[in-house]
A and B are shown apart, each in its own frame.
Chain A
Amino acid sequence: MRWLKLDPITQKRIDRFRGIKRGYYSLILLGIAMVLSIFAPYLAESRALLVWYDGRPYLPTFEYYDMDSFGQEPPLAWGMGDLETEYLRLQREWRAERYFYDRERAEVGDDPAALAALDEKFPNRRNYVVMPPIPWNPYESDFWYNEVLNEIQAVLDEGAEERAEMMARRDGLDELADAIHTGRIHGLLDDVDASPTGDLLGLARSGAMPSLERLGEVPPTPPDFGRRHYLGTDSQGRDVASRLFYGFRISIFFALFLVLFGQLLGTIVGSLQGYLGGRFDILSQRVLEVLIAIPFLYVVIIMAALFAPTFWMLLAIMAVFQWISITFYMRTEMYREKTREYCLAAKSYGASHLRIIFRHLLPNCLTPLVTFTPFAIVGAVFALTGLDYLGYGMPPPTPSWGELIDQALMPENRDKLWLTLAPFGAITVTLVLVVFIGESVREAFDPKRYARYE
């Protein structure tokens, strides 16, 4: 920290803060989470990080590749390849291809001609896809649970059993894939007990094939590691983990920007009020009183009703109101400090007003700032979540915690525990971390322990 000259007292405060483990680790954890969230598009995204295709790397995060680029079959209902590749499906398809290759390889033996034919048949077995840890973006609906059996059924009805098996294998429905491979599936479908309706959906409903039991369900679906929905899906099939992560990114940066701006402006105005005093103080105080009397939530709600709120608009509206409270504290601090001898000394040396304020007085007035800032962050996160919950926050489909909480609290979703636990858990953990940090900072800066004037 050579570039930042710290006086010994500040150094002591920092050391003391680091000594309070709870706060220190909370800061590290939160810091890591924030840094990670900056890289959210690399961590929770449906576009692959890397596709290795025919001996060449592709980076879909930065480039658009349609389905034809990798020879991917378009989704059944679409029937055209002018779409962005579905990378997660591609990954699973290529993995299934490797499975089939290995299976047939074992049957073929060492005959070079047959091997060459196999190579031809499974050209993608050497290709691979690297997906982000959460392979879902926060917007896409995954209706796989409800749709996959219909799709496989349609392919089966066409008589394309190999393709049907591939689809089942691709999606990890091994029991079904084996049944199709061995031909057992026809017996099952014809059996009224196993499938009362004579189709795959009936098979899933009757429980004759236990691994299909969760299929035929509409969202919200519970957590499923196989499908890589680590926290389940929400009421329109979007990945909760992904939305939670992006929601964190938005709320925490919203809070940071807001608090940074608010505390900065508040400190400047408050310091000037306290330092200059007199008429400026009296007049500006009256203006602030008017401002603070405006009920901020109503203003936001009215604005949100008239204009579609955006990140920056919400930030601006809230910033207008957020900076005021800190001015009062800074003002009093300044009033107290400016009468002290060191200030008079600086004055007598001919220091300029700005220099006195920012070099000499401000460092001694930091306690309220440091103490209140963490709680201001908590407040800002809460405010944004609350606005989203009420429907006055970011426009849909922006991922947000408030929107998730809103879904979780709908009567029909009350038994969907993952929907409730995820956002509440996230909010609790984040706020607890921030509060821990705040407490430790306050303790470290406690003026009773160290006073600059002694």
Chain B
Amino acid sequence: MKTLTPIGVVLGLLILTGALATPIVPWVARSSGSEEANASSVTPSVEEHADPSGVTTSLDPGTDEPEPLPDDVVSLPEDILWETNYDDPPIGSSDAVRGGTFNYSIGQYPMTFRLMGPNSNDAFAGWNRAFTMSFGLVSRHPVTDNYIPRVATHWSVQEDQRTIYFQIDPDAEWSDGNPITASDFVFTWRMMRSEHIVDPFYNNYAEQFYESVDRIDDHTLRIVGTRPSWRPLSDYGGLWPTPEHATELDENWVSRTNNQHQIAVGPYVVSSVSRGESVTLERLDEWWGDGNHYFQGMYNFDRIHLRVVPIERNLDYLRRGELDLVVENNARAWNEDYIFPAVQNGWIRRARVFVDTPSGVYGLHMNLEAPIFQNRDFRRAMHHLFNFDRLNRNLMFDEYFRQVSFFEGTEYANPEIQPREFNPARAKEYLERAGYRRPEHIRGRNVAQNVGNALRGLLFTRSDTDDVLVNERGEKASFTVIYGSPGLTRHLTVMQQEYRRAGVDMRLRLLEPGTAFERGLERKYEMTVTGRTAGFYPSPRQYLHTDFKEAVNNNNIWGFGTSEVDELIEVYEENLDFDARLRAMHRIDEIVHEEAFYIPFWRAPFIWLAHWDYLRFPDFYLPRRTQQVTDYMVYWIDPERREALTEAMRTGEAFPVEEDLDVDYYGIREVVDQEPGVGP
């Protein structure tokens, strides 16, 4: 039994260490060009794709070589109905120009170019997924959310909601010129299950998701998932091909392929590396996908030069012209560091681009098993003492947005829910209802007591916990917050002082990130700060189902569960009617809000960009569902503007500068910018 894959732990650490001066950005590991890639590789047991039994999944040993399936068993059904979608707009812009070298940074040199196996989930993985290796069968359109063809041109979902047939693009070929066939997909599945890849995550993933992957003919494929799903293409359609002709899977595979150059399905292939310093990706001259309508205006650069730069030095490299684009993730830096001539002259441009991505669960969690948090009024009081605006104004440059919904950033978020406002008077009412009052003895009631206090005071001043609220049993309104991110200390200590004034003693305990994360899973805490990433589809079961209330070591860190929520989860998971699912999820969201065991923190539904003027973006800047700026490369280098810039820098001429940095093409800000309400 394993409770968490290593990747899961790493992910947890990343969540926990996501310092709060920085937005909870989608970290490197989860970047991907497509929703499928995401599902397949990054949000493992911790999130989204946990199997119904929770994060604890057993890995069957002895899944070495799958039993060979006879070819003749698999054939197409007679009455198959093929589907496709070429009706959505292209992802990129028609203004885009091909050419040029794009200089960008990576935080660390890739430990491997493999897509599976040890270390394959490092900083380079996102690049691998988006550009070279991991091109799935279908993906979601990042603006319309419809499924669009990728390596497959057509697909057909069968009535059982787990069998899907795919037609593979006959033009699709590897960077070495060999055609991509159905066998390459079967091979990926085989590889995922192999012990030779030394990758328990993929072993587990293949086990949980794919019952079988079969070749019908060279360009036709059948995938059978393990269970019916109302989003079968999302669950099973992300499979990517692996070049079977060039892969020898044996016990030396891991070490042999560590730094092997790739044979890619995507438009780019690693062309040269300078170990420890940089990686260069070269655009294929004739890429099979160039004909695909959706890829128009994407993949514009001839060359992508990725230089290893420590995050805090990105800006320096940008200023020196060694990077074309940087993503800022520190509110203070964004507000204070970009005041230099190149920016003031409009040579370097900045933008805050709003994007619409799920933000996951992130905030303060209360353990419903801890005696002090068993009272709902007490929990609600905690909400009313959380002064988000003050934190945001004074510690975060007023840049962030308050999270509200349990399903924030997904279509299932209940728009009716308003965050509880900062309201100490109301908190006091709730606290009184929960039985907590200021103690009597903080002020002496008679002369003798006062004299006693004064004498005591000659040596000791009043204890700092004297005015903490107590209930009738003499228990103090006092609890400990466990957290693992040192970056959060600033926010928590400010909160601590505020709670303290209202008579609630919040103690802080900073633990090593992994320990703090585990304490959450094991429910060994009173209050904790932790986050979970979210996929495109929320997965409430692992968080809120009663199955996980009794057990520990799962994502139901609060120990919550009611039969009503269980039923609603069933509806969400099984009902094929979207409205019914939506109603169920809205109700769940409402219940979570009413029960008040989770104080959502803040989110950054935007990306801070700074780039040289010659790097051009479409008017929408980035597609709606962008998580990382490199997910969808819709920008390009304009050679004319490059010349103009060189000239302007020589003469010192300034370009017009726009005052408003916000780019909100999809109207996301309106949705996230909610006024707090009184709330129940």
Contacts and interface: CB of A to CB of B under 8 A. Distances in A.
B425 A80 contact: yes
B394 A147 contact: yes
Contacts of B333: 412
B332 A412 contact: yes
Given A139-B493, A306-B515, A61 B461 contact: yes
Interface residues of B, number: 48
Interface string B261-292: 00000000000000000000000000000000
A305 interface: yes
Contacts of A396: 489, 492-493, 508, 510
Contact of A412 (B336, B390, B501, B508): B336
A367 interface: no
B330 A412 contact: yes
Nearest to A45: B461
A297 interface: no
B390 A59 contact: no
Nearest to B437: A82
A305 B492 CA distance: 19
B644 interface: no
B428 interface: yes
Nearest to B515: A305
Given A80-B425, A139-B497, A146-B393, A62 B454 contact: yes
B433 interface: no
A349 interface: no
Interface in B455-470: 456-457, 461-462, 466-467
Nearest to B503: A82
B494 A236 contact: yes
A143 B462 contact: no
B346 interface: no
Interface in B410-434: 422-425, 428
B372 interface: no
A413 to B, nearest CB: 9
Contacts of B21: 412
A77 B462 contact: no
Contacts, number: 109
Nearest to A412: B332
B467 A61 contact: no
A141 to B, nearest CB: 5
A80 B457 contact: no
Contacts of B132: none
B508 A62 contact: no
Interface in B322-346: 330, 332-333, 336-337
Q: Which of A59, A83, A141, A308 has the most CB of B within 10 A?
A: A141
B510 A63 contact: no
B625 to A, nearest CB: 31
B387 interface: yes
Nearest to A79: B425
B509 A143 contact: no
B680 to A, nearest CB: 20
Interface in B294-331: 312, 330
A395 B512 contact: no
Nearest to B333: A412
Given A42-B461, A64-B443, A146-B393, A80 B492 contact: no
Q: Which secondary structure dominates chain B's binding surface?
A: helix
Nearest to A40: B461
Given A308-B511, A396-B508, A412-B330, A84 B454 contact: no
A278 interface: no
A82 B515 CA distance: 38
Nearest to A308: B509
Q: Which of A83, A236, A308 has the most CB of B within 10 A?
A: A236
A83 B501 contact: yes
A298 interface: no
Q: Which secondary structure dominates chain A's binding surface?
A: loop
B493 A84 contact: no
Say which size band chain A's interface belongs to. Answer: 35 or more
Given A62-B454, A64-B467, A305-B512, A397 B394 contact: no
B442 A237 contact: no
Contacts of B453: 62-63
A62 B444 CA distance: 10
A185 to B, nearest CB: 23
A391 B456 CA distance: 35
A35 to B, nearest CB: 14
B328 to A, nearest CB: 12
Given A62-B453, A83-B502, A77 B387 contact: yes
A322 to B, nearest CB: 24
Interface in A349-377: none
Contact of B394 (A59, A143, A308, A395): A143
Given A80-B428, A235-B490, A62 B510 contact: no
Contact of A79 (B330, B397, B424): B424
A397 B330 CA distance: 23
B142 to A, nearest CB: 33
A198 interface: no
B494 A395 contact: no
A146 B394 contact: yes
Nearest to A396: B489
Interface of A: 41-42, 45, 47, 59, 61-66, 77-80, 82-84, 139-141, 143, 146-147, 218-219, 235-237, 305-306, 308, 391, 395-397, 411-412
Closest 7 CB pairs of A and B: A62-B457, A305-B512, A64-B442, A41-B461, A308-B509, A397-B493, A80-B425
19 contacts: A45-B461, A61-B457, A61-B462, A62-B461, A62-B462, A64-B466, A79-B423, A139-B493, A139-B496, A236-B394, A236-B490, A236-B493, A306-B512, A308-B511, A391-B510, A396-B492, A397-B489, A412-B336, A412-B337
Given A64-B462, A80-B424, A236-B490, 10 more contacts: A42-B461, A61-B462, A62-B453, A62-B454, A82-B503, A146-B393, A305-B511, A395-B508, A397-B493, A412-B337
